[in-house]
Amino acid sequence: MRSFLKLSVFSIFCGLLLASSAVLAQTDADRGVEVEFPEIEGWEKGEITTYPTAQLGYSIVYQSAEGGTVTIYVYGGGVSKIADGIDDKNVKNEIKKAKNDIVLIGERGIYKNVKEIKDDTVTLGGRDGKVKALYSLFNFEIQGRQVDSEIYLFGYHNNFIKIRATRAKSKNNEPNEAITTLLAEIDKLFSE
């Protein structure tokens, strides 16, 4: 009788655990936002990559003729509520995670001489833009090449939008015209 009781309690526990997981998965899936990424002059737009869980969301890569790569990620990260914009504590925590990921990759030796150069708030579309993003610029070496790597992050419709731009290192950390053009189009996309 005792083993039957233990088995029953265990079965109920497992059922509750699976039910709560299903509800969580459903909640994450329901809050997904579909973004129609535009064609942008001077950039080759890749295909959407959907990740294995709703928490990880999806991404798209843009590749410029001059060698810059921009990846845009749309994801919830397992966070239950993400406010639009940059003032939400979850958005601030997420940029810290993104910056720490770059540092960790450097510590593992994949990136060399990792240095954070800027930590700021920017408007994606410049003076005419509307979308503010938390911003960080890193310099490092990867496979013998010096690169600038930028992170832009903001909340949008209960998701994180993270933009990761990597390009050949510029002189004096100057902006890259092709990336500036792409960001202006992305600003229009997320300000509608």
Going by C-alpha positions, the residue among 188, 179, 101, 183 that lies closest to residue 140 is 101
Q: pLDDT tens digits for 122-137?
A: 999 999 999 999 999 9
Q: pLDDT tens digits for 3-22?
A: 333 333 333 333 333 333 33
Is the CB of residue 69 less than 8 Å from the CB of residue 165? yes
**What phi and psi values does residue 109 have, to the nearest 5 degrees?**
90, 0
Count CB neighbours of 138 within 10 A.
Answer: 21
Which pTM was predicted? 0.81
Give the whole-angstrom CA distance, residue 165 versus residue 45. 14
Matching residue, tokens 């903001």 = 154
Give the whole-angstrom CA distance, residue 40 versus residue 135. 22
Q: pLDDT tens digits for 54-99?
A: 899 999 999 998 889 999 999 999 999 999 999 999 999 999 999 9
Binning the chain into helix, strand and coil, the percentages to the nearest 5 are 35, 35, 30
* pLDDT score of 172: 72
